[in-house]
Amino acid sequence: MKQLNRKFLSLLCIGLIIQGCSKNFIELNPISNANEGNFYKTQDDFLNAIYGAYATLKTSGQYDDNMQLVGDLRSDNTEMGTTASTRFSYYDLTQFNVQPTSPIVESIWNDNYVGIRDVNMILDRIVDAGISADVKTQITGEAQFLRGLFYFNLVRVFGKVPLVTKSLKTIEEAYSFGRADVADVADVYKQIVTDLTVAEAVLPLQVTGQEGRATKGAAGALLGKVYLTMHNYAGAKDILNKVISSGQYDLLPDYKDLWDAKKKNSKESVFAVQFLASISTSTGANFTERYFPYQYPLFSFSTTGGGYNIPTEDLIAAYESGDLRKAASLRESYTNANGQPVTGLQGRFEYKFHDESIKSGGSNDNWPVLRYADVLLMYAEALNELSFEADGMALSLLNRIRQRAGLPEKTATNANPALRIASQADFRLAMEQERRVEFAFEGQRWFDLVRTDRAIAVLGPKVQGGLMPAQLVLPVPLSQIDVNPAKIDQNPGAK
């Protein structure tokens, strides 16, 4: 980005001011009127504030890795490679045994609400700010894009959540917001759609030299995913067609280039969280160190990390013979420094995120929130849900993804039953399979299965004791209930 990372240090003082209020209300706490008035004055103040809001995407409860680990570990794609004590909460995630005291749910709740608080402050203060109209419009669009993303993550993880769309001035005001004020998840989705619709209308098509800032395509693609989740297929079709027709994006010819950190922010990237390896500013990604095998011995430095997000044998078996994505996505074993092969659970690991970390400085891998392959497959899904057409546009888009993977096309009358899509139901299953292997380790599998109402059918037989509807959301953090029991209740079935 002219990297957004460069702006991070200038935001440190803002973060300290914000977090200096009530620790009980870290997710909703107000900023004092004095501090608010002193900061939000100049154009640079607002630019620094929006960069700070982007920086929250790199916190543990967002895309540092807990959002994607929910999306992967709660599915049949990945498992934990070790249950060392610091990893118990992640093992519980794989077993659908998450507790209300889990640090995972705490971080996702808190870090997304920190982001919401930051963008609410920007939106409240920018209305009357004496800054360039163009800059004001862009920052407003970015803030609403981010708020839509934060709430989309929250509602998918927890169901109903407190809906806060303004900055809070007092602790008493913070106590007035809760889940009890939200009739159902439709209220939250209504706000998400409003935010993303405004963002899509005002954001620029391109942000050349400032990669990582939201664009019209990013807002449109996210809105398309929201519409699919709401089962509003006509809305998804229209907005995703607009993203495709913009001409801003394309598939990379070689799938493995997507995972080359030197080629990040490519024409296939619609929106990615930006990471930059650096010992001094802590802006690097931890994906390689955390997702490679536990205590992987072939790094250039010693680490006690690793063992998260290990590919399951079930996922490995899901790749068709000749699928080029398999070798670009995972390894089934490695040879250690003594020349001995390491196989099985201890030897398997994802390979999409493989840029080697600098010790204590992270790596340069970005996190792909939205990429163009997702746009194409979502559009195909929307078309199929509206009306199945044998060998129509939806199937052409599905085959476009398969062609890049080196796989044969699927057709309506194919003599090979494995390559035949003769009905809407066939297409749904083909889409489920294609998305599984295309987006493996990108935190999408669980959310895809829930969105398509397939989680219980697919995962139930693979989970000890089965999978119940109440387990489709995570428990609300107990700390939030304890601090405001009149307004924040627990999800049914939570332990």
- Residue/partner pairs of 174-181 with CB below 8 Å, 24 or more apart: 174/22, 174/25, 174/28, 174/29, 174/30, 175/484, 175/487, 176/487, 177/28, 177/487, 178/484, 178/486, 178/487, 178/488, 179/476, 179/487, 179/488, 179/489, 180/486, 180/487, 180/488, 180/489, 181/487
Backbone torsion region of residue 443, taken as left when φ is above 0, otherwise alpha when ψ lies between -120 and 50, otherwise beta: left
Amino acid at 479: S
Amino acid 39: pLDDT: 80
- Distances in whole angstroms, Cα of residue 120 to Cα of each of 37, 53, 88, 114, 288: 15, 10, 35, 10, 34
SS3 string of 283-338? CCECHHHHHCCCCCCCCCCCCCCCCCCEECHHHHHHCCCCCHHHHHHEECCEECCC
Give domain limits for the chain.
4-271+473-483
Question: Do 18 and 25 touch, CB atoms closer than 8 A?
Answer: no
Stretches where the chain sits below pLDDT 70 are: 1-38, 495
pLDDT tens track for 225-249: 999 999 999 999 999 999 999 999 9
C-alpha–C-alpha distance, residues 119 and 317, integer Å: 43
User: Tokens 């219980």 belong to which residue?
Assistant: 456
- Distances in whole angstroms, Cα of residue 262 to Cα of each of 17, 192, 214: 36, 34, 21
CATH class, domain 4-271+473-483, is mainly alpha
C-alpha–C-alpha distance, residues 463 and 453, integer Å: 17
List beta partners, residue 311.
Answer: 78
pTM of the prediction? 0.92
Structure tokens at 9: 């240090």
